[in-house]
Amino acid sequence: MDFIHLGRSGLRVSRLCLGTMNFGPLTAPADAHAIMDRAHELGINFFDTANRYGGAQSPPGQVAGNDQSHAGWTEEIIGDWFAAGGGRRERTVLATKLYGAMGDWPNQDRLSALNIRRACEASLRRLRTDYIDVYQMHHVDRDTPWDEIWQAMEVLVSQGKILYVGSSNFAGWHIAQACGTAAARNFFGLVSEQSIYNLMTRQIELEVLPAARSFGVGVIPWSPLQGGMLGGVLRQQRDGRRRLADRAREAVERHREQIEAYESLCEEIGEQPGSVALAWLLHQDGVTGPIIGPRTLGQLEDAQRAVSLSLDGKVLERLDTIFPGYRPAPEHYAW
């Protein structure tokens, strides 16, 4: 496994980040523990989770959970794995997130100083650890002043409960605003940004990537396979290995020409589509490493090929032809 500094920090993380959103609802705790053990064996030291993971997926501001699942379950699964010892916590760079509602009472969501404090304490209890390596804002909070947010984060750093702060789903100007106000307080500010980024969804190339590079913020792409559409979906359908729900089928049909061209290119170079999609991200300037979300050990094993896969200039050009990207703003739309 290759390692890279997370943004401008001295923290070294693996080029693949283990996403845990499936742990609980889709991957049983015992299987999740096996996946995390195998990730360490493969050299993956960077794990990502969130306080909301483990419950039924619901929009921000609505409480997740039912009798079988609940928000926080994924953190509890990771905490049980840490508690098994064997250096599991010490070898893990742990990132979790806050923002979404963890209850139906005021101040149980978003980024007020009160919720930041309470959410951090709750995550620490569930994770069965005394510190979080990277504490991430899952979304921008337009109603809370940055001075309030940074003051709360500074307190957590001084208490040793968090080491670094990251963001997720920020616009480029949010990154600039956050970093500028942190610098005015002589605080380190953002070290990472999680954004949706893949061959089919490249809007962050306009402003988010340039802003992240300028401020020394590492980019951690989520949904690197666009919900499976870049993982060989047409081949899987032909082989009878995958059935698509209505929305997924509509999305595939809408992009069928591109996906067919992409899968043909992957077959031509003798590589699996999922490996090529992940490797392409690793070739992009400013990208720390994509978040992979394996439901099984097999899916984890398949992802490893991307780290050693080098795509030459001609292949990269053909990928840009199939899935056109963006130049940085304003040059993309102006002189």
In a domain, 249, yes or no: yes
Least confident of 9-18, 87-96, 97-106, 231-240: 231-240
Q: Specify if 327 maps to a domain.
A: no
Of all residues in the chain, the percent with pLDDT exceeding 70 is 96
pLDDT value, residue 246? 73
Q: Which helix (H) or strand (E) holds 219?
A: strand 218-222
Is residue 53 annotated as part of the catalytic site, yes or no?
yes
Pairing of strands 93-98, 46-48: parallel
Per-residue pLDDT at 271 exceeds 70: yes
pLDDT in tens, 62-119: 444 444 689 999 999 999 999 999 999 999 999 999 999 999 999 999 999 999 999 9
Please tell me whether the overall predicted TM-score, pTM, comes out greater than 0.95 for this model.
no
Indicate the SS3 state at residue 253: helix
Asked whether residue 266 is domain-assigned, the answer is: yes
Domain-embedded: residue 131: yes
Does the residue 332 lie in any domain? no
pLDDT at 64: 42
Has residue 93 been placed in a domain?
yes
Buried b or exposed e, range 243-275, using 16+ CB within 10 angstroms: ebeeeeeebbeebeebbeebbebbeeeebbbbb
Residue 57 — very low, low, confident or very high, per pLDDT cuts 50/70/90?
A: low
Asked if 289 and 17 count as a contact pair (C-beta separation under 8 A), the reply is: yes
Which run of H or of E encompasses 291?
Answer: strand 291-292
Decide if 335 is inside a domain: no
Tokens of 204: 């962050």
What is the pLDDT, as a whole number, of residue 67?
Answer: 45
Residue 160: pLDDT above 80? yes
Rounded-to-integer distance, Cα 261 and Cα 321, Å: 10
| pLDDT, position 231 | 93
pLDDT the model gives residue 60: 41
> What Å distances lie between residue 222 and 115, 158, 160, 306, CA to CA?
25, 30, 28, 15
| Catalytic site residue from 53, 135, 197, 262 | 53
Structure confidence by residue, pLDDT tens digits, 38-47: 999 999 999 9
Whether a cis peptide bond, with omega within 30° of 0, leads into 330 is yes
Across the chain, mean pLDDT equals 94
**Percentage, residues of the chain above pLDDT 90:** 88
Tell me, what DSSP letter sits at residue 77? H
Report whether pLDDT(61) > 50. Answer: no
Residue 329 maps to a domain: no
Which tokens go with 133? 């390596």
Tally of domains in the chain:
1
Q: What confidence tens digit (pLDDT) does each residue in 243-258 have?
A: 777 777 888 889 999 9
Lowest mean per-residue pLDDT among 37-41, 65-69, 152-156, 330-334: 65-69
The domain of 294 spans 3-322
Q: At what angle are helices 256-269 and 273-282 packed, to 10 degrees?
A: 90
The domain that contains 108 carries what CATH number?
Answer: 3.20.20.100
